[in-house]
Amino acid sequence: MPKIKKSRVGVRVDMTPMVDVAFLLLTFFMLTTQFKPPEEVQIILPSSHSTFKLPESDVMTVTISKDSRIFLGVDNQYVRSKIFGPENRLRPEVEVDIKQLGNLLVQARMASPKLRTVVKGDKDAEYGVAEDVMDILQKTNITRFNLVTDLARD
């Protein structure tokens, strides 16, 4: 009888180290994670071999969607409320008309001169719109900008 009772205790595995490691990883991921800002439209990026990384802050994004709509986004709330009005302060991107784009770009640059301009176009967007956007950028004296791309695998 006592023999049976002894085996009943079962094998006890000490889980403490595993749980320790799990918590360590959890803290690591919680601290390093950066949530992707929600986008107004889904953009499928074209791929390229360029390995230049996107700057982390002070970015002004001009997004061109597949159906040729243009969105302007700034990653700074202060600038955002300045150019789009306080009610749009929390929206990451605001749809703009191509005719207003030049004006808004100038305003944004005046509010924060160190903004870097980034053009994020959908792979299947019409080239004509991209050409117009680049034209506007050139006219507003933003002659240096970046195109967001995915890394090509081949």
Which residues are CB-contacts of 127 (< 8 A; sequence separation ≥ 6)? none
In the complex, least distance from residue 94 CB atom to another protein, rounded to whole angstroms = 21
Question: Which of 64, 80, 90 minimizes the C-alpha distance to 145?
Answer: 64
Shortest separation between residue 115's beta carbon and another protein, angstroms: 15
Number of neighbours of residue 109 by Cβ within 10 angstroms: 18
Residue 60 is a binding residue for another protein (CB under 8 A): no
Question: Which residues, in sequence order, are bridge partners of residue 61?
Answer: 73, 118
Q: How crowded is residue 104: how many other Cβ atoms within 10 Å of its Cβ?
A: 20
Residue closer to another protein, measured from CB, 44 or 88? 44
| DSSP 8-state class, residue 5 | H
Residue 113 beta carbon to another protein: minimum distance, rounded to whole angstroms: 18
Q: Is the Cβ of residue 22 or residue 110 nearer to another protein in the bound state?
A: 22
Please return the burial class of 79, using the count of CB atoms within 10 Å of its CB with bins 0-12, 13-18 and 19+. buried
Site for another protein in 62-121 (CB under 8 A): 64, 118, 121
Measured from the CB atom, is 71 or 84 closer to another protein?
71
Would you say 40 or 82 has its CB closer to another protein? 40
Q: Does 147 bind another protein (CB under 8 A)?
A: yes
Q: Which of 9, 11, 54, 113 binds another protein (CB under 8 A)?
A: 54
Residue 130, phi then psi, degrees to nearest 5: -60, -40
123 vs 126: CA distance, rounded Å: 9
Q: Which residues bind another protein (CB under 8 A)?
A: 14-16, 19, 22-23, 25-26, 29-30, 32-36, 45-54, 56, 64, 118, 121-131, 134, 137-139, 141, 143-152
